[in-house]
Structure 1
Amino acid sequence: MDPVQRLISRLYRTGVERPAEGFQHWALQQLKAVVPHDAAVWGMGHAGRARFHNVKVIGVDAGYSRALERWVEHNPIYPRLAASQGVPVDMRDVLDDDAFYRSKLYRKCFRPYGIERILSSGHMDARCGLYTLLSLYRFDRNHPFSDADRERFRTVAFHLVHACSHNYFLHISRPASEQSHRPAAVADGEGVLHEAEPDFIALLAKHFPDWEGMHLPEALAREIGRGGQFSVDALRASVEPLSDIHLLRIWEETPLDRLTTREREVVEAVSRGLSHKEAGRELGLAPTTVSSHLYRAYAKLEVSSRSALARLVHGSQ
């Protein structure tokens, strides 16, 4: 198998077995096999902000990311990246070597960390402004990145970004959770998005046509600190605290969302064909209690038979 395709396969296959926190360091180390480099930065943030909210570095001091942020307005690579998403940009594409090595940018930002050659790739979700920067560095000025390096990086970078997002949500989701299959995003207490699955963004765009990205729509943002479940127009949402950020899931509301948790459990058990006694044994309830929950569920769902209930349950999944 081609080394690039082998790496891409490994990103998705092995990545799901690794802790989300260590995925970026591991992936950048794996990338060395197809695009050799001495150091690298993987930063994530918003296009509207000149700073990262999450950044990983290998091969250079951790303080380098702050220097990169301080010099962002003077770095000619960034405008080129913004104009050509997913297309790697070499510093030589925007400054010839003579101009670069005489520049204040080189002397203040790159030379203190031994960086001589730079190849970067930018990736942004235009709907919400979430931005990822991947930059590879070499310390030997006489070893520039080749056209072949650039093409391999272009192919792999897309999969680095998407495998990382997949790995992240896979590990922070609870498989036993009732909502674990719902579109998810991570936001801080101010409603600023830090990560988002494509289906989450698509639902926001559908239900909030004027939404401009980066921040959650106000109706969602003002509820996020309360936790639990709530409804916003035709959407249902659940919020789970994750230290100082929040895991937010949204889905289009169905009639079953009108039920309490216990009513939902009873309905799902009965819709599988269990008798009241069998459902009660499974849920730890008396058969009469199962009947009471089922009666209230029938009224809320406006159904009057087990067959209608089963169609409603299985049709919403």
Structure 2
Amino acid sequence: MEARADLRTFSAFVLELYERSQVLDPVDLLHWSIESLGVTTACDANWGGWADLSRDAIEICGSVSRNLPPDFVKFWSDIKHEDLLARDFIETGCAYPTYNRQGTRHTEGMVALSDRYNIDKFSTIVVDNKRLPVMLFLSCYRSGRSARTLAENELRFLRAALDHVELAVERKALGGPDGKHLLVNESGRVLAASPETLRALRDIWPGWKGDRLPARPPRHSSRQIVSIEKVRFEIQLASQLADPHLYYIRLLGKDPCDNLTLRERQIVTHIADGLTHKEIARHLGISPATVRNHTQAVLTKLGARNKAALLKLIHSAAAG
């Protein structure tokens, strides 16, 4: 199949990308993009997603593929420090690193990868994210000794297209009225995050680098509320196309009762249950005056003017 990398094809891809972004899950949108760009540039296989290509830790944080066997990512992980394309990007900042099995520059790992999966020509395009250590990448493969490497115009086409893919995927993953969303993998690595979320979490977790949550998100498929280092998140599994699994997370904020004493928490629980001061006093074995003093302390700590405002705050947190 002949590659098509002209302006008309680029415009058509971008238009369809944004049309599909209205209905597709962000990971499904990335998968469609990888497949579409692979077909457009006549590549036999493609691999794309998020990677940390720092000198000390080459890591695939989440990816999808086209026409590659399930063990490809695992095999690549075993030879990743011999990946000449990753090395070229790290050491020289090369925009479009390439590898030719019939060329003269090799490592044992690259030869093994090429021969095992019958791919002779490699090219990788990377979109550098200035806010996070991870970057969106797209690797393209062609098979056969006579296969040609991607031409300069094809590489420029893919680089421009990947810019739009990153924007569309992030908008979809981080969308919402408050904008406080993240896309993370199963180890807690942050792949995408709105600036508002990064600022909010750095305020809550002083010294947080923004690269990884302090704890792994729990593995489950249903939408749930979880607490990580006293911060509440709404978490949901993304499409299972990705390897490793990815999660959408919405920041709900700190638990409003975190700063309360045990006794104050007990009183808040009874207030939420609709008990009066006398009834709470009887349950806890203290005087009504003590209950009133604790209640006033709770109102002050939570910034609530009265019990009605306190109840609204409690119910809002519970709903979250």
Range class of TM-score, shorter chain:
0.5 to 0.7
Aligned match of 2:165 in 144, 160, 168?
Answer: 160
Q: How does 1:181-260 map to 2 (within 5 A)?
A: 181-187=178-184, 191-204=188-201, 210-216=207-213, 227=225, 238-243=232-237, 245=247, 247-249=249-251
Aligned match of 2:19 in 13, 21, 26?
Answer: 13
User: CA separation in 1, counterparts of 2:199 and 2:145?
Assistant: 44
Does 1:99 pair with 2:105? yes
- Tell me the alpha carbon deviations over residues 161-203 of structure 1, each in whole angstroms, 9 at most, x when there is no partner: 2222223345xx6xxxxxx433211346865424323442354
Matched residue type, 1:213: G
| Deviation of the 1:97 alpha carbon | 0.8
Matched residue type, 1:104: E
| Deviation of the 1:8 alpha carbon | 2.0
Q: How does 1:1-317 map to 2 (within 5 A)?
A: 2-32=8-38, 34-47=40-53, 49-82=57-90, 87-91=95-99, 97-100=103-106, 103-142=107-146, 143-170=148-175, 180-187=177-184, 191-204=188-201, 210-216=207-213, 227=225, 238-243=232-237, 245=247, 247-249=249-251
| Deviation of the 1:152 alpha carbon | 1.0
Cα-Cα RMSD: 4.0
Give the match's secondary structure for 2:135.
strand
User: CA separation in 2, counterparts of 1:182 and 1:251?
Assistant: 13
User: CA separation in 2, counterparts of 1:141 and 1:49?
Assistant: 32
User: CA separation in 2, counterparts of 1:222 and 1:78?
Assistant: 27
| Deviation of the 1:81 alpha carbon | 1.9
| Deviation of the 1:110 alpha carbon | 1.4
User: CA separation in 1, counterparts of 2:75 and 2:31?
Assistant: 20
Is the CA contact (8 Å cut-off) linking 1:4 and 1:152 kept in structure 2? Answer: yes
Decide whether aligned partners of structure 1 residues 33 and 202 sit closer, same or farther in structure 2, where only a CA change above 3 A counts.
farther
| Deviation of the 1:27 alpha carbon | 0.9
| Deviation of the 1:207 alpha carbon | 6.8
| Deviation of the 1:117 alpha carbon | 0.6
Decide whether aligned partners of structure 1 residues 240 and 32 sit closer, same or farther in structure 2, where only a CA change above 3 A counts.
same
| Deviation of the 1:146 alpha carbon | 0.9
Decide whether aligned partners of structure 1 residues 36 and 189 sit closer, same or farther in structure 2, where only a CA change above 3 A counts.
closer
User: CA separation in 1, counterparts of 2:47 and 2:174?
Assistant: 21
Decide whether aligned partners of structure 1 residues 89 and 16 sit closer, same or farther in structure 2, where only a CA change above 3 A counts.
farther
Identify, as 1 or 2, the structure richer in helix.
1
User: CA separation in 1, counterparts of 2:75 and 2:229?
Assistant: 43
User: CA separation in 1, counterparts of 2:78 and 2:228?
Assistant: 41
What are the ranges of 5 or more consecutive residues in structure 1 without an aligned counterpart? Answer: 174-179, 253-295, 303-317
Matched residue type, 1:215: R
Decide whether aligned partners of structure 1 residues 13 and 224 sit closer, same or farther in structure 2, where only a CA change above 3 A counts.
same
What are the ranges of 5 or more consecutive residues in structure 2 without an aligned counterpart? Answer: 1-6, 238-244, 255-298, 306-320
User: CA separation in 2, counterparts of 1:45 and 1:91?
Assistant: 19
How many residues matched?
242
Decide whether aligned partners of structure 1 residues 105 and 64 sit closer, same or farther in structure 2, where only a CA change above 3 A counts.
same
TM-score scaled by structure 1? Answer: 0.61
Matched residue type, 1:130: V
TM-score scaled by structure 2? Answer: 0.61
